[in-house]
């Protein structure tokens, strides 16, 4: 059964994240207890416990709508180098989703690039929220109907940014979309908001900031992360790493993950 036994707040898209100023979230439900997140076998010093973004209710499934993103080419090495330098001054960073500590990875550049940068990332188009089982078919059908047709477009990730989740339990080092692709993603977010609203689900933030997250840390360490990013910008090598944008990705489609199952909402034909 795919009920939310092991569902925690979404890391990749930070769908439940605001900018470096954290947003508050009200709720009548009491905070659930901390649950330990098992670490991968090859990394015995795993991540600390994390808090569920919403309490577990039997029969609920976690919903996440997103654009999948892959980093390819020479930018992978450059981004891995940036992460390595940030991790050298900000302790306690972990790879998003994989939840592997960055520090041991930084001893092997090839492994760092493979584990931290060579995976799939997500641009969230809506909040990660629980839905009931009877809502799944309607949700997927409506998303497909409204997001079926899209023209290809390019997405520029222009800026390193720091985000903090709603309750300040985690901080994220992310790459934000500031220019090319922003208008298209914003339109898609509005469509997803409409579908969420029709299913009585909370909409995305009023002023969304599309991004992918690459690393996270426990608690609100936005100040330390922001200082590290600013130091990198002032360094002599930073201009070589990102003269205009950090990397560019082609929009390839939209996916929806409910529980452990992933649904293709729209997919562009291979050229």
DSSP state of 135: G
What is d(CA 22, CA 19) in angstroms, rounded to the nearest whole number?
6
Considering 56, 64, 70, 122, which one is annotated as catalytic?
122
- Nearest-CA neighbor of 166 among 28, 9, 5, 57? 9
The answer to whether 64 is a known catalytic residue is no
Q: Are 148 and 188 in contact (CB under 8 A)?
A: no
Tokens describing residue 34: 């901390």
What is d(CA 66, CA 74) in angstroms, rounded to the nearest whole number?
25
The answer to whether 122 is a known catalytic residue is yes
Considering 56, 64, 70, 211, which one is annotated as catalytic?
211
Q: Are 113 and 77 in contact (CB under 8 A)?
A: yes
- Nearest-CA neighbor of 164 among 221, 226, 83? 221
Active site residues: 122, 211
């Amino acid at each position: 059964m795919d009920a939310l036994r092991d569902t925690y707040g979404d890391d990749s898209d930070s769908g439940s994240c605001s900018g470096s100023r954290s947003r508050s979230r009200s709720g009548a439900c009491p905070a659930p207890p901390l649950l330990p997140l098992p670490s991968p076998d090859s990394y015995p010093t795993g991540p600390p416990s994390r808090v569920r973004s919403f309490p577990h209710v039997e029969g609920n499934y976690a919903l996440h709508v997103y654009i999948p993103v892959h980093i390819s080419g020479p930018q992978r090495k450059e981004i891995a180098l940036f992460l390595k330098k940030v991790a050298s001054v900000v302790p306690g960073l972990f790879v998003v989703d994989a939840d592997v500590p960055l520090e041991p990875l930084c001893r092997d550049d090839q492994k760092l690039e493979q584990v931290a940068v060579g995976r799939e990332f997500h641009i969230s188009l809506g909040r990660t929220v629980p839905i009931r089982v009877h809502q799944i078919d309607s949700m997927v059908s409506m998303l497909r109907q409204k997001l079926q047709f899209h023209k290809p477009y390019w997405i520029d990730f222009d800026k390193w940014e720091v985000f903090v989740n709603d309750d300040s339990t985690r901080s994220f080092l992310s790459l934000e979309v500031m220019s090319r692709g922003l208008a298209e993603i914003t339109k898609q977010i509005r469509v997803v908001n409409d579908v969420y609203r029709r299913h009585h689900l909370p909409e995305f933030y009023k002023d969304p900031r599309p991004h992918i997250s690459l690393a996270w840390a426990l608690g609100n360490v936005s100040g330390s992360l922001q200082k590290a990013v600013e130091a990198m910008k002032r360094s002599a090598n930073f201009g070589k790493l990102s003269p205009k944008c950090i990397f560019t990705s082609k929009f390839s489609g939209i996916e929806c993950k409910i529980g452990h199952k992933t649904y293709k909402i729209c997919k562009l034909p291979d050229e």
